[in-house]
Structure 1
């Protein structure tokens, strides 16, 4: 057996993790932290908010989950009326800075029968990078 290769580290140099405070977005963040520790990935946490008064609460949730294990960026954007959360995520991904996105399968929807939310579906279909959806 030859020496190990680090192809995976090239696929995941810069990871975007959209969060909304939901359990699945926090699990996605856990996976991104693991990738960072294993492969040296740079993690950017992104909160596209329609209720931006939650911004600091979301930041605290993220900081508690990461628990000083890695360095990370925390970016937010207010979602304009003529856009959507998924459009804002796609816009960031289209800038070509990220190699992958790791996100939760569903956000804070009240319908527990839905396995994959509309934002996750939209990102899977439209993202120009690798998408990992965490359930």
Structure 2
């Protein structure tokens, strides 16, 4: 099996950075393009309408900065590997659904994603984007811990 377009989602975490390195290496080996995405989910404030505009502005500003930082790390990995890449910030509800939808609309044939490995109550409260991507994806998913 050969891959032509590899999607690597990033949240700027150390795990996502490792996933970007693996994805860049795979893209080099297969001659594939690396598609880098970061998802900003504005929905936390939809559930707290009384939180105020300042809180939403702060959240969005911090999210944009984290997205840019995560993308820059992944772009550096792609450049170091000498592979072509595209980068996107998605501002949509549901990171896992957005990642899977982007993979489909962009023609990605592999998703390489980092997993924080949350267990117990953390997994229940915070959820696992990687787990949801595994469940929803129609293409292979390579999970990096």
Return the TM-score normalized by structure 2.
0.70
Q: Aligned partners of 1:133 and 1:32: how far apart in 2?
A: 10
Which residue number in structure 2 is paired with residue 54 of structure 1?
A: 66
Match of 1:85 among 59, 84, 95: 95
Q: 1:73 aligns with which of 86, 93, 110?
A: 86
* 1:95 aligned counterpart, secondary structure: helix
Map of 1:42 onto structure 2: 33
**Does the Cα contact within 8 Å between 1:100 and 1:130 map onto a contact in 2?**
yes
Shift of 1:100: 0.9
Alignment-derived partner of residue 21 in structure 2: 30
Pairwise CA distance, 1:53? 3.5
Offset at residue 95 of structure 1 (A): 2.6
Question: Would the alpha carbon gap of residues 77 and 134 (structure 1) be closer, same or farther in structure 2, given more than 3 Å must change?
Answer: same
Asked if the contact 2:12/2:67 (under 8 Å) is kept, the reply is no
Q: Distance in 1 between matches of 2:140 and 2:114?
A: 14
Contact 1:100 1:131 in 2 (8 A): yes
Note if contact 2:39-2:95 (Cα within 8 Å) is conserved in structure 1: yes
Unaligned runs of 5+ in 1: 1-7
Q: Which residue of 1 aligns with 2:4?
A: 13
Structure 2: runs of 5 or more not aligned: 42-62
Structure with the bigger percentage of helix: 2
Asked if the contact 1:28/1:103 (under 8 Å) is kept, the reply is yes
Residue 52 to residue 101, structure 1, CA distance change in 2 (3 Å): same
